[in-house]
Amino acid sequence: MTGTALQKKLSTAEKTFLEKNRKLDSYYSTKKLGAFVENGTTVFRLFAPQAFEVSLVVKKNVDEKNYKEYMMVKDADGVWEVVLSGDLYGKFYGFKVLNNKKLKKTELLCLDPYAKAVASYNTYMGERLGRVIEENNFDWENDEWIQRDWSDLIIYEMHIKDQTSHPSSGVANGGTYLGLTDKGKTGGLSYIKSLGVNTVELLPSQEFANIEIPFQKKFKGKINTWNPYERNHWGYMTAAFFAPEAYYSISDKPVQFDKWDGTSGQQVNDFKEMVKAFHKEGIAVIMDVVYNHLSEYELGNLKEIDKEYYFRLDEKGNFKTESGCGNDLKTERPMVRKLIVENILYWMKEYHVDGFRFDLGKLIDWVTLEDIVHEAKKINPDVVFIAEPWGGGYDPKGMSLRSIASWNDQIRNGVKGENPKNGLGWIFGQWQGNNNPNRINSYVNGTLIRDSLGLFQKKEHSVNYLESHDGYTLGDFIRLGTKEVSDNDVIKNVDSLIKLSPLQMKLNKLAALFLFTSQGITMIHAGQEFARTKVIPFSVDAPDTNRGRIDHNTYDKDNEVNAINYHQAKINQELLNYYTGLISLRNKYDAFRKADYDDITFLTKDHNEFAVGYTINYNENEFLVLMNANPHSNKEFNLPEGNWEVLVNAELAGTKKLAVVNGKLVVPSTAGYVLKSRKEKVESRK
């Protein structure tokens, strides 16, 4: 059908919709946006192409009633501007945007989408003001990015507050950016360093909506039936892309309703102090960023600036919501793309961030992702990009083609399982979904497309993980999967639950062994190393019918469900030691990180389909990895010729020789071994 024929079939409403979109797509400006000081003046610019009138409001303090208001001037590209004399550092500001001549101007202030620091009034309506700050005035002490080959990454996914908010962390300023700079007695930076991980991935730390709509009350046609806590703890409701979350500069107390956060602006330097402290320990920092939607309920953001430009809408003007969060950003719009790309570059240059993880990355259009990668690599060629390769589709292959790594949900589900009730995986001696011995081999190799089962062009595009902030912790998944605990059990003594049974210990160790010996990027979630549990406190002060039960979706809970309890790490010290041993093994021997596909040779399969054995011959070292996930029988392996040092067995893991074996080795059920050849040298790769 020709374009003309297609036009004839379109309704008047459809034609109007298409014409409006073409018009909006034509707007573009190269001007610097936001608020900044230049040549003794302060410049304010806002892109609002359809606005009829825009004015700037400047306040000395957030509660000022007698504020000054300045009319702004619009250029041909949709950018509104006003220039005021002097530097206005420390002043608060917002915009009044009138999008229709027939509407009356209100007192609603719209937040600058380029605001570099934000003061927020804690309600679900989200009143916010930008704060003019001085950039490039921090003493980095010659700090630079941590530049590391992706295959060497061992990522620790963590929440800024949760990592140090529990009293057991022993740090000052618990629950804050600065809490993570404190080496502490038990938790904090020293704990993360002691694990041997070399990268932290921070759950969202751009300014976000902390509070959801009131429980069981109607708002904009919705009734909150899902969140009795009225909290958004994880941060996946971004409010300001360029500003660090102010709440993490304040204290370890819960969010305070009807209070202002961020008025001092100290969050800017606090975030930088945190990054610098990690970098001094050789630990890179990756930010989890959300570009697929905005904070859903609050007023005064891009919805009020220009809903039609910034969001994906249907023909009736309603928000599309493939994200499930009420308002999907139209990343393909030229000025939205500009905002996202500039945002990535800003966090790299101003905050020395080493990489990014894209929440629901498939909802970001390909051109924007390609531009991000292209522009960011000009600054730091080793910058890390990781996507959740779903949201509006599923395409880890497409991400890999664009040099973006992805969370590998296939290895997660294949090894652990999809759910603990009826979707158990390999470690339990079961096959989840379409998993089988060949898929297990594929995961070992990095889930590469060359074996027809894989997803990735390169193994370092596969982020191998078994636990993340979403879903049950690995420890709880195993507790439930063994049927030793039920998700209906009311647990009043969490310490008795956290202590692993012999079977739970075996399953946790086997899962960890598979994870740390597979090719690709390795990621664990905070607390995975000691089988952390997430139990809703029985005494919680909220109308939660699940109190006392194991939780699998803790985004809404700012309490002990999410806080890292270091006493529990001591209870499962054996597992913690096993994890640190595996991390040291992976760090020391590059065979587990850099071996090529042809460097790995699998042993012949027999009647035990849950047994996996393979050799790795790389860089003049030869290793033998043997694992037996059969829960009912031991597995005898015939060892290749020669003597082999045992580095990992069913009890211990590390780089020290535990024993020397040859001939045959019996691997118990639900256990594994790593052996290293005692030969001085093996034949190098051809």
Cα–Cα distances in angstroms (integers) from residue 353 to residues 201, 266, 277, 284, 521, in the given order = 10, 18, 12, 8, 18
Quick one: average pLDDT of 9-30? 87
pLDDT score of 40: 95
Measured distance between the N- and C-terminal CA atoms of the chain, rounded to whole angstroms = 56
Question: Which class for 679: exposed (0-12), middle (13-18), buried (19 or more C-beta within 10 A)?
Answer: middle
| 261 Cβ contact list (under 8 Å, min separation 6) | 119, 120, 122, 246, 247, 250, 255
Q: Helices marked H in 93-206 — which ranges?
A: 162-165, 189-195
Neighbours of 480 (CB within 10 A): 20
pLDDT score of 149: 97
Is the predicted pLDDT of residue 685 greater than 50, yes or no?
no
Q: Facing residues of 448 across strands? A: 456
Quick one: average pLDDT of 367-393? 97
pTM of the model: 0.95
Give 61 or 124, the one with higher predicted confidence: 61
For 621, phi then psi, to 5°, come to: -125, 145
For 280, phi then psi, to 5°, come to: -65, -25
Is the predicted pLDDT of residue 6 greater than 60, yes or no?
no
Q: Which of 217-226, 382-391, 455-464, 467-476 has the lowest mean pLDDT?
A: 217-226
Mean pLDDT of the chain: 94
Q: What is the tens place of the pLDDT at every residue in 480-498?
A: 999 999 999 999 899 999 9
Within 13 Å of residue 666, how many CA atoms lie on the same side as its CB? Answer: 4
Place of tokens 């009034």: 121
CA distance 410 to 418: 9
For 523, phi then psi, to 5°, come to: -130, 135
Is the predicted pLDDT of residue 35 greater than 90, yes or no?
yes
Q: What is the tens place of the pLDDT at every residue in 429-481?
A: 999 999 999 999 999 999 999 988 899 999 999 999 999 999 999 999 999 99
Q: What is the tens place of the pLDDT at every residue in 104-113?
A: 778 899 999 9
Q: Which of 360-364, 405-409, 467-471, 539-543 has the lowest mean pLDDT?
A: 539-543
Is the predicted pLDDT of residue 402 greater than 80, yes or no?
yes
Q: How confident is the model at residue 541 (pLDDT cuts 50, 70, 90)?
A: confident
Q: How confident is the model at residue 186 (pLDDT cuts 50, 70, 90)?
A: confident
| 641 Cβ contact list (under 8 Å, min separation 6) | none
Give 540 or 432, the one with higher predicted confidence: 432
Is the predicted pLDDT of residue 684 greater than 70, yes or no?
no
Quick one: average pLDDT of 127-143? 95
pLDDT score of 8: 59
What percent of the chain has a predicted confidence (pLDDT) above 90?
A: 87
Q: What is the tens place of the pLDDT at every residue in 651-660?
A: 999 999 999 9
- Among 462, 504, 463, smallest CA distance to 480 is for 504
Is the predicted pLDDT of residue 586 greater than 90, yes or no?
yes
**Domains in the chain, CATH or no CATH each:** 27-131 (2.60.40.10), 150-588 (3.20.20.80), 595-677 (2.60.40.1180)
Listing DSSP states for 482-499 in one string gives TTSS-TT---S-HHHHHS
pLDDT score of 686: 37
Orientation of helix 474-481 relative to helix 502-517, angle to 10°: 130
Q: Which of 352-366, 509-523, 539-553 has the lowest mean pLDDT?
A: 539-553
Q: What is the tens place of the pLDDT at every residue in 66-84?
A: 999 999 999 999 999 999 9
Quick one: average pLDDT of 8-31? 86
pLDDT score of 559: 83
pLDDT score of 256: 77
Question: Which class for 215: exposed (0-12), middle (13-18), buried (19 or more C-beta within 10 A)?
Answer: middle
Q: Are 479 and 532 in contact (CB under 8 A)?
A: no
